[in-house]
Structure 1
Amino acid sequence: MSAVYLLLLLLPLVSAQTYHWGPCPNPKVQPDFNLQQYQGKWYEIEKLPASFEKGKCIEANYALRKDGTIQVLNAQLYKGKVSVAEGTAVIRDLNEPAKLGVSFSYFSPYSPYWVLTTDYNSSSVVYSCTSILNIFHIDFAWILSRSRFPQPETVEFAKDLLTNEGIDLCKMKPTDQTDCGDN
């Protein structure tokens, strides 16, 4: 019965997210992931809903810090203003460097940030999933590009990859990358 109460308490928190019954899927990640090549600016092209991303012109910039952690700068244009969130990413297991953890607060644990595939120069597919007592899971997925307007085949490839890994994309939405200026 306590699991039902927990679910009822968590439901408002996940209402803007994508959640599914059961544990998280376990997709394959980028073999031989190279963080040096992954650094730099990526534009969000499509995503599963995320309550912390409500704007347009969303981009992420990754840079290696001297201490070996990765600075994550996410920016979006929301209600006419640029808002920036700074976080930290870490490689949690050197044997699987494409499975990073990311946190945007000293008070929150690292959340999964798995690079499923990237060619480093044009596109990347990222997935994150958190299981709640193996009763249900909350997942996020992002299709990223080095360009605000990638080729349609690139987006189609990314969606096919996510679907083939068992990730439900019925709520995936494009990110508005028009009229972004210099943010």
Structure 2
Amino acid sequence: MIYFSGDRTSSIEGTATLASKNGDAILDVEFDIIGVPVHAPYNVISTDYTSYAVVYSCSEILGITYSSTSWILTREQNPPESLIKKGYSILEGQKIKTDSLKKTNQENCN
């Protein structure tokens, strides 16, 4: 995963394992952050298996708050706007807020 902090680009690696035994598309993703394993549930809420996936994650933090994140992932570096709109529609249909989604800069992605 690549994330941005100001003008800096950083990356993080993790391992995903299937968390559901009944066929649901729920992954347990583990990241090593400063030597501490951090787990996050990744729920694939929609995919066509060839061009996009819509993913949602929500984790409790210290039992007092939560962090939720969603992604519209595409295989194309610059997907058609119709595919992005479809992703937004899927998230909104699940009552997941989309106002904080930001397009990732795809320049220099070799």
Identity over aligned residues, as a percent? 32
Work out which of the residue numbers 73, 77, 94 in structure 2 matches 1:144: 73
Counterpart in the other structure of 1:99: 26
* Structure 1 residue ranges, 4+ long, deviating more than 3 angstroms after superposition: none
Matched with 2:58 is 129
Unmatched segments (≥5 aa) in structure 1: 1-43, 45-51, 56-76
1:54 aligns to what? 4
1:136–1:113: structure 2 CA closer, same or farther, 3 Å change rule?
A: same
Task: Output the TM-score relative to the length of structure 1.
Answer: 0.51
The yes-or-no answer on 1:159 pairing with 2:109 is no
Which structure has greater helix proportion? Answer: 1
Instruction: Tell me how far apart the structure 2 counterparts of residues 89 and 146 of structure 1 sit (CA, whole Å).
Output: 19
Higher alpha-carbon Rg: 1
Alignment of 1:9-48 (within 5 A): none
1 or 2, which has the higher strand percentage?
2
- CA-based RMSD of the aligned residues comes to 2.3
TM-score by length of 2: 0.81
1:90–1:164 distance in 2 versus 1, CA, 3 Å: same
Shift of 1:181: 4.6
Gaps of 5+ in 2: none
Q: 1:170 to 1:181 in 2, by over 3 A?
A: closer
Q: Secondary structure at the match of 1:108?
A: strand
Higher RCO (CA 8 Å, separation ≥ 6 residues): 1
Indicate the residue corresponding to 1:116 in structure 2. 45
Give distance in 1, aligned partners of 2:57 and 2:14: 15
